[in-house]
Structure 1
Amino acid sequence: MRKNLIASVAFLLASSTAVLAQSATDGKVKIGILNDQSGVYADFGGKSSVEAAKMAVEDFGGKVLDVPVEIVDADHQNKADIASNIARQWYDTEQVDAIMELTTSSVALAVQAIGKDKKKIDIVTGAATTDLTGKACSPYGFHWAYDTHALAVGTGGALVKQGGDSWFFLTADYAFGYSLEQQTSDYVKASGGTVVGAVRHPLSSQDFSSFLLQAQSSGAKVIGLANAGLDTSNAIKQAAEFGITQGGQHLAALLFTLAEVHGLGLEAAQGLTLTEGYYWNRDDESRAFAKKFFARTGKMPNMIHTGTYSAVTQYLKAVQKAGTDETEAVAKQLHEMPVDDVFGRGGTVGANGRMIHDMYLLQVKKPSESKEPWDYFNVLATIPGKEAYIDPAKSGCDLVK
């Protein structure tokens, strides 16, 4: 009898271990969306990215490995120290498995460093610096929607080809701005253009007058706005007051999305050239997704929102395929699995964590060209992923063999 009892207990323990190996380690899968929800990038990503993440979970069925999937979110206020504290709390005490979105490059770099130390996954859709998959890469870090190199190749390359061969930069004074200015400068120079100067402004600046006057007096054909969100919108509005474009200079919005065009309005934004990784009105599949998103948020999605939907979806697919939410196993699947959804069609993930997918060169329509609300862009060109992104072998990431 004793032998039978021991055998039964051993069988039950073995069975439970087998079940655990094919399930979430703590009975749930928990994803954190950490971004700017009240500041300069609130429309860029914000609460709409949280809704995109929730959409992804619902479309996946609400569960993975027969356990519920939970989305939590927080506002990092564009401060790396606040973001770091939230990330540590989520990882250490709240059993968050992965953190995503991470608008603002300084924030994304800080959180990715914490994830690397704690062996936790992050998937960045909101930040742009190529350092995330370069010198600061992590075996558990992934960069999804776009980066500064893709923006430089798209917008910078297009304007140089159109004759905009001399540039002056208005740059946000933090990691993202520096990276975007550097990547675009390198691309402009490689294409035969010149950079005549640059000036840096603080994040969330309200007055761009002195910066714009320096740009205007430089005589550059193109003023590159190496900033984003409300900073870009405010710079464009104030540039109009100085008559900069009327004087023959061209404004290049190096990171400008559908959300910011909507906020600025077609009258002010018309003619701007920009680069995104997604446009809602491109085909039937993108329109169907956008319609569902609009019903929840009252707005059409940009590449940050749709990229977040894609990142959450791919993470859940990786958990399902790995049979566990254990970090090493899921990261392995994220590196190996192709990406094929409404955002990343035919996408692949490099050894440095960079998701390589096509980007789109867009031009803002004139008000007379727009046929319906949110119909803001003409698609000028598709930029193949291999052209848009740095070859992982040349990225500076020490994970690439």
Structure 2
Amino acid sequence: MTALRASSLPGAIRNEVARLKGAGHTLLPLGGGEEGKAPMVRAWAGPGLTLAQILAPMHRTGSQAYGVRLDKLAVVDCDSDDAELVAQLEARFGASPVHVETPRGRHLYYRANGTAPNLRAEGLPVDIKTGARSYVMGPLSLRPDGWFYAPAKGVLGVDALPILRRVTATKPAPIQTGQRHDSLIKEAIAMVECVESAEELTANLASIRDDRCDDPATIPDAELRSIAGWAWARRLENQIYQGRNSAFRVDRLALDALRGCANDADAIALLVLLVDRHGHTPGKRFPLDFKAMRAAGLLNLSVPRLRGARRTLEGAGLLRLAGRHRAGSRPQTYVLNRLNPGVGSTGNVEPMPNAQHGSVQRETGGRV
């Protein structure tokens, strides 16, 4: 007789999934993607899964995350846990008895009430997710990166949810023909960090097309899928730039190249500052005026230490001289390089320096 394999899932998450499934909610096993938020089943917007179909992939992969599909639900997804923002939203849509803390903010649960307004268009860091093609991480979910979805108020599946209250708001100006494509791209960039998939982003763009664009019938679904796919790819590659309200990438290879240097802490601090200021524009040339940088409070290092950090970055191949000083007309300028072996033939990537000789190979137009 073959013994049954013991489940590696914590009892709390197994019981929560079983309880919510029994309460009539449609659930999904999550665990795919970089943040572990993607469904682990195909056609997840189709018929609801059985409890075994939900738990089996979680058990097999060790995932402790599941999604609540929003067939008849609406979730106000706040990117901020600011108490004033939450109070503003509940004053507008009605008080929600179920709140769940998320890595960025908070989920407020309601029953669905038709098409939800686009709060991003109103300048709020909030999305309203609803429908069978939308889902959110369920309470007690634990992502692979350690972020936990903690119940903050009430119990989903126990507390009766009110209908999301319809509120008449000032309707944004219609998007005119000739501006529609660019406007949809801007909307995609604004929303892409807050959706769970390219498909959800496409659905959100379809709502904007139908509600705000002139002559929406002439914007095909294929155009929306193309825009959403482009924005989703940029998100995965960490190439979405939204000013100071954005993240930027520092390659681990760059940090590896600096660790162990005599002034590695200074060099890493200078590298992070330069990537922050200039790394989003491939091949950008910039001067290094250390006195001005200190005066602006960008780095609290002495000028000799900053010069030493610059030399370390140059020696590691992370920074190169791009233009020499010309008295009275041009300062000395530099360009950031990217260490990325195996892609040196790409037009916007600098090849990795020779590790044995420390020499920088032929320039191909640096990018960080």
Q: Same fold (TM over 0.5)?
A: no
Structure with greater Cα Rg: 2
Higher relative contact order (CA 8 A, sep 6+): 1
Answer 1 or 2: which has greater helix percent: 1
TM-score range relative to shorter protein: under 0.3
